Structure 1
């Protein structure tokens, strides 16, 4: 049986860290000496998303628990990396900013093992995803992020990914060939859509709305919260609910910077991250039904049944065959539904 553990968050701490008072940012008793910190944090999407709400909660909790010694400056839409989430992850790893919510999909561009938890049709629902993460998945990803010099504090959540487009209703694999679909910047997602016969395009999320609006692309795939909070229903006619990929969020901190904190300040960061992630996940799930209801007023929404989903699962078998060795047995087994 895999070791059970509590989900904590993943946050990248970087050189946007400013240290004052004696101690100069060294570890030991820095917190007791009154060390103060000013950190930057980014998210990939807009201020109307639950990602932003989780980041705000994290900043509030750090300020509260540290009696004002820890402050966080928040930036939406990957503003510090020119809208490029992959560059944003590199900034975090290099210590050029403090914190970020990022999907493992973005991390997979650095290490393909990160894409294991976003394998197509891996989980049927949130209950399965929660169980897998608690039963070894989070522990495995803590190890992966540490290999990059990042202290993972736990998972937030983007949700199950859906597909939208401006051309037609999607109910079976035969509906996808020929569609020009923007996908997240990951080899796995490019391969998924190539296997389905689509014309997948990787672009920064900041460019998606305009590209849908002017017809450069036909569709895109994202969870409800991202679709809704960025107004994509205004430029898309069809939404297919198929829950084909579960997408958690990594909230983290640069490992070297985390280890430089005193034990007391590490505990503050750990506790704030855990509470903020729980808040963000609950908010994201609570909002889904309302978001979907509003999108149904503007789009044709199709929810696939079990037989329709099975056809897509079978179509994905070549992708699984190709990626199992890239994920490695250790990581793939850690994220499987119990």
Structure 2
């Protein structure tokens, strides 16, 4: 896979509101020039991830560009919502926090249109994903988040999702049959794995390591960075590299909070978000080769061939047929490879 620089348009997708320095809701009354803020931001995974590094960069840039007026408090593992990312998105929309990095997979639990970009085997590589985002993908997701009361500040990136398990190599659909797999909390992902004959389950990510360790589940699916930064290779024997779903990250901000800011502070937030997203995406992609090399020392790693991938792709046609109306033609077309 080629590693390409990401344009500013693919920056983060909004962060959530906790309040201004006076302790009241900054959305309740217009903010003036020179106002000071202390905002909260959450991510779904640990401090070892590229997600966290992107959030830290965002905090640094907000502090720098505002001359110290804007402070960002960071929380890993969805600490503000008890480990539940779906509840975290609701907090963001309601104004109970200011910012978050969340996958569209989580948003799709509220609006299934969000899952269009995570359709199975949609993109062959990062070049295709970048082109689609630059040619309508970002704009359509800005519209979707606005409908929820969230200001999207662009895309970060979790990466292409892979599959691990403790039983055997996965090279064809029959290898997935019967495996109890933790999948992302989305109807789409449950349907993907049911179509392949697995026994898919959802659970908060914070529970995954222990559940793999004690054999409650056989495997899970996630991008390299999430697998590596959370040490899942310690409790999994097999990794299949199949890049079956591209998973960007929405940097979201509570829309009412954003609207309450002065023009100067809106510009600060948007510029900081664009720079932080570009930094996070590059870091995530740059880390992949090193992470994969280290995981190969601890796991049996199988990289699927184009011919093997074609078999899986064909097996997903019933899923595409079932979701065509849920995604809507407008959204599905916007994320198609260009």
TM-score by length of 1: 0.96
Q: Distance in 2 between matches of 1:70 and 1:274?
A: 17
Structure 2 partner of 1:96:
96
SS at match of 2:67: coil
Q: Distance in 2 between matches of 1:5 and 1:281?
A: 11
What is the deviation of 1:17? 1.6
Whether 1:291 aligns to 2:291 is yes
SS at match of 2:320: helix
Q: Deviations over 1:50-95 (max 9, x none)?
A: 0000000000000000000000111100011110101111111111
Structure 1 partner of 2:3:
none
The one of 11, 16, 22 equivalent to 1:13 is 16
SS at match of 1:18: coil
Structure 2 partner of 1:168:
168
User: 1:17-32 to 2 correspondence within 5 Å?
Assistant: 17-20=19-22, 30=32, 32=33
User: 1:113-128 to 2 correspondence within 5 Å?
Assistant: 113-128=113-128
Q: Distance in 2 between matches of 1:158 and 1:97?
A: 22
Structure 2 partner of 1:326:
326
Structure 1 partner of 2:201:
201
Q: Distance in 1 between matches of 2:190 and 2:9?
A: 33
Structure 1 117/6 Cα, relative in aligned 2: closer, same or farther at 3 Å? same
Whether 1:105 aligns to 2:105 is yes
Q: Distance in 2 between matches of 1:7 and 1:38?
A: 25
Structure 2 partner of 1:85:
85
User: 1:116-155 to 2 correspondence within 5 Å?
Assistant: 116-155=116-155
Q: Distance in 1 between matches of 2:144 and 2:210?
A: 35
Q: Distance in 2 between matches of 1:272 and 1:124?
A: 30
Say if 1:13 and 1:99, in contact at 8 Å, map to a contact too.
yes
User: 1:37-76 to 2 correspondence within 5 Å?
Assistant: 37-76=37-76
Whether 1:159 aligns to 2:164 is no
Structure 1 residues without counterparts, runs of 5 or longer: none
Structure 2 partner of 1:269:
269
What is the deviation of 1:29? 6.7
Q: Distance in 1 between matches of 2:300 and 2:65?
A: 46
SS at match of 2:220: strand
SS at match of 1:6: helix
Structure 1 partner of 2:4:
none
What is the deviation of 1:20? 4.0
Say if 2:20 and 2:26, in contact at 8 Å, map to a contact too.
no
Q: Deviations over 1:261-318 (max 9, x none)?
A: 0000000000000000000000000000000000000000000001000000000000
Q: Deviations over 1:141-189 (max 9, x none)?
A: 0000000000001000000000000000000001010000000000000
Counting matched residue pairs gives 332
Structure 1 255/237 Cα, relative in aligned 2: closer, same or farther at 3 Å? same
Q: Distance in 1 between matches of 2:174 and 2:194?
A: 13
Say if 1:5 and 1:134, in contact at 8 Å, map to a contact too.
no
Say if 2:8 and 2:275, in contact at 8 Å, map to a contact too.
no
| Consecutive aligned runs of 4 or more in structure 1 exceeding 4 Å deviation | 23-29
SS at match of 2:9: coil
Q: Distance in 1 between matches of 2:275 and 2:8?
A: 15
Q: Deviations over 1:203-245 (max 9, x none)?
A: 0000000000000000000000000000000000000000000
SS at match of 1:277: helix
Q: Distance in 2 between matches of 1:204 and 1:312?
A: 27
What is the deviation of 1:12? 3.1
Q: Distance in 1 between matches of 2:321 and 2:26?
A: 51
Say if 2:12 and 2:277, in contact at 8 Å, map to a contact too.
yes
Structure 1 10/238 Cα, relative in aligned 2: closer, same or farther at 3 Å? same
Say if 2:167 and 2:218, in contact at 8 Å, map to a contact too.
yes
Say if 1:26 and 1:261, in contact at 8 Å, map to a contact too.
no
Q: Distance in 1 between matches of 2:117 and 2:137?
A: 8
